[in-house]
Structure 1
């Protein structure tokens, strides 16, 4: 009898040890499977599987299968979901210093953008959400956001007067559209196509690949490339999950994420050109308005953050990066 008990205990011990050696992490996002971010995540799946020899795996749930960006962040906070990808504009509701990325015309060019994101400031902001149980692993390129509308091109802020423009759930984005004369209307990305069709909003703002892959060009035939904001996407993991990983598992996951980011940025550059060409063929009028008059209109947005010393200091630091 005693021998039998010992055998059962040994089986349980080794069985449990074997199970604990393997871990699967769920990663949810709201984008189409043809999007460069999703393709980069598939690369991360491969890299992580290779690095960990199959002991640490990623399962990806695209197209808002597990909820909107905000809902996914809330699931991360309580530990019900392990990872997600969100816009930094949505992240600012959970990690306030991320507001800085929503400031219009913040970056001079791509080089300035990546130098900021991959440098000290970018790393500080990735760790800034830890007190909210959210840790950033890296930044995907989400290009620059521009206006697209149903009835006319936006060649100056005057064209926004009286228009209902869909924005993300971001105070900064709302203030920016309001400063230009538009009427900001927060709507989930999953509901936007229908909202445009039914006239709930007159237009929206986003980058070329998202405009194309979401098929919103079927409704909006005017795309004005004013490139008012350059807001990165952020790869986030729940701190509940991160802290439960071994030091080796953390290294594997971070390395896979870093490789994924580099891969995505290459894909993004290609996808922007392809998206603009595709929507043009579909009958969309593409214009490149003078950015100067837009910049003048949004100066008040910068003034609003003078009392927010943390964000304002970040702004000044970013502006001095060469």
Structure 2
């Protein structure tokens, strides 16, 4: 099955690496990282609970801000009410921006936007279209604050029962599934952008480095608070 790395963080602290804000400078860098066999091997090595084993990582694109008002600079977020996913790292990022972060179920975001309870949210282009958030949020800003994959995982009990030959075949299939998923994701994003433009959404290219500079001081404290992500953090550096 595939499950967001942000949800796996509840059981295994190493997956918090993917919610570190502005960890990757581009989606290309992110894809190289999640496609690196050494990264999957490291996640497998750190997994202590032995209930599941990560096999590969699927992209879920880039999380960006979208809102009923244009976000062109960090200051545009100050005192604004923005829906975010649950997670300490995300909360600290929003605090650094001076924004009011609202955590709520994803299924409730549409209603919250409609009622004006929140002024915006953060997610990929598919959420903007598929969840119809673009009906209220006419500005989508590419700041690229998080890139969180969906992890393809398998039951430890099942995987341990496989012969070495069958396991190798299983892992090869997981790698091929990753290749196809990334290809299809990019195709779907292109269609979503066109759909969003038809809804009247404007896409804004921002100076992402100015956003990144606001939260870079957090990286050291996050590494100190959660040593389980330190090795993976160092591994990201060779791609930057």
The answer to whether the superposition gives a TM-score over 0.5 is yes
The answer to whether the 8 A contact 2:3-2:152 is kept is yes
What is residue 128 of structure 1 aligned with on the other side? 46
Normalising by the residue count of structure 2, what TM-score does the alignment of the two structures yield? 0.88
The answer to whether the 8 A contact 2:142-2:208 is kept is no
CA displacement, residues 23-50 of structure 1 (integer Å, 9 cap, x when unaligned)? xxxxxxxxxxxxxxxxxxxxxxxxxxxx
Q: Following TM superposition, by how much is the alpha carbon of 1:170 offset from its aligned partner in structure 2, in angstroms? A: 1.7
Taking a change above 3 Å as real, the CA distance of residues 225 and 110 of structure 1, as seen in their structure-2 partners, is closer
What is residue 268 of structure 1 aligned with on the other side? 185
The answer to whether the 8 A contact 2:27-2:62 is kept is no
Specify every segment of 5 or more residues in structure 2 that has no aligned partner in the other structure, as ranges. Answer: none
Specify every segment of 5 or more residues in structure 1 that has no aligned partner in the other structure, as ranges. Answer: 1-82
* Aligned partner (choices 162, 173, 185) of residue 246 of structure 1: 162
User: Residue 105 of structure 1 aligns to a residue in which SS?
Assistant: coil
CA displacement, residues 125-176 of structure 1 (integer Å, 9 cap, x when unaligned)? 24533516232121111111100112x1111121111222222222111211
Alignment of 1:1-322 (within 5 A): 83=1, 85-119=2-36, 120-131=38-49, 133-150=51-68, 152-243=69-160, 245-247=161-163, 250-307=167-224, 308-321=226-239
Distance 2:135 2:157 in 1: 42
The answer to whether the 8 A contact 1:130-1:239 is kept is no
Taking a change above 3 Å as real, the CA distance of residues 282 and 126 of structure 1, as seen in their structure-2 partners, is farther
User: Residue 72 of structure 2 aligns to a residue in which SS?
Assistant: coil
User: Residue 298 of structure 1 aligns to a residue in which SS?
Assistant: helix
Distance 1:310 1:246 in 2: 29
Normalising by the residue count of structure 1, what TM-score does the alignment of the two structures yield? 0.67
Which structure exhibits the higher relative contact order, with contacts defined as CA atoms closer than 8 Å and separated by 6 or more residues?
Answer: 2
CA displacement, residues 255-304 of structure 1 (integer Å, 9 cap, x when unaligned)? 33322211111111112222112101111121111112101111232132
User: Residue 22 of structure 2 aligns to a residue in which SS?
Assistant: coil
Q: Mark the structure with the bigger radius of gyration.
A: 1
The answer to whether the 8 A contact 2:65-2:140 is kept is yes
How many residues are paired up?
237
The answer to whether the 8 A contact 1:90-1:170 is kept is no
Q: CA-atom RMSD, angstroms? A: 2.2
